[in-house]
């Protein structure tokens, strides 16, 4: 069984292609339909993207201080 995707996994994303490799839904086979699995994947991706943006914002504020 694949492990759950956490916001801390954002550190493993270097470019956009890595996002597909990092995001895993460990219950993908248990979902009622493919649509629910796709929605869940989008939610995981959105969380990781927002975490990356937050990290980048933190790095930029360090540069300007």
Measured from the Cβ of residue 44, the count of other Cβ atoms closer than 10 Å reads 20
Would you state the pLDDT for residue 30?
79
- The structure's pTM equals 0.63
> Does residue 22 contact residue 13 with C-beta atoms inside 8 Å?
yes
Match 């550190």 to its residue by tokens.
11
> Does residue 4 contact residue 48 with C-beta atoms inside 8 Å?
no
| Count of alpha carbons within 13 angstroms of residue 59, beta-carbon side | 7
Average pLDDT, integer, range 52-57 = 84
């Amino acid at each position: 069984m694949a492990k759950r995707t956490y916001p801390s996994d954002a550190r493993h994303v270097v470019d956009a292609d890595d996002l597909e490799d990092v995001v895993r839904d460990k219950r993908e086979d248990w979902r009622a339909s493919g649509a629910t699995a796709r929605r869940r994947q989008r939610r995981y991706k959105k969380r990781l993207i927002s975490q990356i943006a937050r990290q980048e914002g933190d790095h930029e504020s360090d540069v300007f201080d």
